[in-house]
Amino acid sequence: MLIFSVFKTLTDQQVTVELKNDLSITGVLKSVDQFLNIRLDAIKVLDETRHPHMMAVKNCFIRGSVVRYVQLPAEHVDTQLLEDATRREAANQGKR
């Protein structure tokens, strides 16, 4: 739930999603769910000449499992808080 929680705070921010097939899509994060499926708006594919079939696509839904990386806007991530949240979750996991 931690990562989901993080992505929730990043809605309406610009992110770059890199898929396992090396396709990189930059767009505005519209929504995310607990499987980390991602919906992007106003997308732009990094190497458009290599993926001409993506030129007409303006928004997309990405299945979480095909994601390799998501580049996040660092200024919208509170790393201190993130570490705390991770510790809390780890501690909670340990208790169970």
Residues near other proteins, by CB under 8 A: 1-9, 11-12, 20, 31, 33-34, 36, 64-65, 67-74, 77-94, 96
Q: Which is nearer to other proteins, 21 or 56 (CB)?
A: 21
Query: Distances in Å between the alpha carbon of 30 and those of 33, 43, 67, 91?
Result: 11, 11, 16, 31
The nearest distance, CB 11 to other proteins, in angstroms, is 6
The nearest distance, CB 28 to other proteins, in angstroms, is 12
The nearest distance, CB 57 to other proteins, in angstroms, is 22
